Amino acid sequence: MPERNRVTWNAMMSAYATAGEGFEALGLFSRLRCVEFELGVDEFAVSSVLTACAGIGDIRFGIQIHGFVISSGFESDCAVVSSLANMYLKCKAVECAERVMEGREESVMDRLMMVNGYVFSERYIKAIRKIQWNGDLVRILKVDSSVAVSIVTACANLGLLSVGKKVHCAVIVLGFYDNVALGSALIDMYCKCSSIEDARKVLFGLKERKQVSHWNSMISGCLHCGFLEEARGYFDKMPIKNVISWTAMIAGHVQCGLPHEGLRLMARLYREEGLVRGNFYTFASALNACSSLAAIDLGKQIHGKALKMIAVDGDNSLILTTSLLDMYSKSGSLAYAWRVFDTMREKNVVSWTSMINGYASHGYGIEAIDLLEQMMSMGFKPNEVTFVSILSACSHSGLVREGTHYFNLMREKFGISPRGDHYACLIDMLARAGKLEEAWKLVEEIKDEILDGIDGSIILGALLAGCRMHGDLEIGSKVAEMTKRNKQSSDMYIAISNIYASSEMWDEVCRVREEWKKQGVKVPGLSQIQSGCLG
């Protein structure tokens, strides 16, 4: 164009923002302000660039635009304020969006935007509370029926079956039932609320409108509820399967403790479905199956198949490389695990933790500590699982001073409250090192908050094992008394009995076994049936 005016600039920015070309829109806005500054920037340009920031999640540029809005006096413009709030919501800065909207009378469109933004930011309770349920739902759906997907998604994640049914009824009454995304969301909601029959009715009520995404939602929902056979049935009925269908079934079998079946499905995918090829998630699920089986040779084959995919799209391969790392670590091939870890283009807390855990599992405590220190020096913040791994490493390597240091560091520097597994590792470490008095004092400190349930059994079991190892009958007896608070596992009673037996206190052994019977704890044993003995 020989001449451009403000309208043409605005039109181009709006077009780029709407088409998802956010960076192009930001570039035009910068040129308009710095090169074509005589044209000036109006509220339409500001709204367009804020939409672009929302689309690409660029909160830094969005904050700069917010400052420009304040200095330029656009704060009173309704469209600009709504665009600002939407930008913050899409960048998951919910509190900033709420401050922008504070004190302003909300329109129905504003409420729609806030509901969608809350769900996008996973603030599901806020999304539900934003709707006034006495007639407001129908009014909102009439303005924009697509918000039903957000509301149903919120209901699914909160387990609000009755509210989800209200939305379902409203959608049917208003005739908005043809939305593909809504069908998937409803199926997902009913499955997550354990109402599989209602989900089935939605799926088959769609008749010829059923899409692959609807079948996938049904399969994922059944797997979420642990209904593996039902998921298989729907999978076999699917007229067309895509990579999501196959990946869901492979991952589902692995999660249900059937890694062999998951790997058979992986083989079937490559044997039967020539048009469907696995993605990063498919390979990651197959590698998880190999980890469960410690099947390193098969894992190497899958690694070989995945190399081409990593070479083409390495920037998005983090989930796959993390699964490779986990598989090699669990299979005991730490050299391969390190090679994968060292060549990762991008690392996150999960990948660092996986490598630390690999060292911890195989008794390489010093190497685990060195890696944790390297992780923290590079700005990564260890999480609860990282500290379980490092405490386990210290426990199995006898590094008591280091383990105590990291336990205190976890609480004091990173503000992580110790869980049962953290205490179990610490007490196990002290017990193995013969510091049974320290371990017992710690148990007494935490007995009211942590000793009920499985964590308590693990903690007391670790201390009992230490008592038996070091022949400490006194503390072993104290632990034995503590186990009477509630039913413990048979392993606990066996450990107590063995401590007394090692000191030849047979009366105490008999007393423990009587207590065992009174508590109704199942005695471990083996039953055998011999065939052909009736002659």
Q: What tokens were used for 318?
A: 């983090």
pTM of the predicted protein model:
0.71
Pair 473, 503: CB distance under 8 Å = yes
CB within 8 Å of 237: residues ≥ 6 apart = 215
Q: Mind listing the pLDDT tens digit for each residue in 314-339?
A: 656 788 888 999 999 988 899 999 99
What's the pLDDT at 78? 87
Please tell me the number of Cα atoms within 13 Å of 225 on its side-chain side: 23
What's the pLDDT at 528? 36
Q: Mind listing the pLDDT tens digit for each residue in 191-214?
A: 999 899 999 999 988 866 778 999
User: Which is more confident, 518 or 26?
Assistant: 26
What's the pLDDT at 535? 34
User: Which is more confident, 531 or 234?
Assistant: 234
The helix-helix angle for 334-342 and 349-361 (nearest 10°) equals 160
Work out the mean pLDDT of the chain and round it to a whole number: 83
What's the pLDDT at 387? 96
Question: How far is residue 362 from each of residues 68, 172, 529, measured CA to CA in Å?
Answer: 57, 58, 39
C-alpha 83/C-alpha 310 separation (Å) is: 38
Q: Mind listing the pLDDT tens digit for each residue in 46-87?
A: 888 898 999 998 899 889 989 988 888 888 888 889 999 999
Residue 17 confidence (pLDDT) above 90: no
Residue 346 confidence (pLDDT) above 90: no
What's the pLDDT at 483? 65
What average pLDDT score do residues 240-264 get? 93
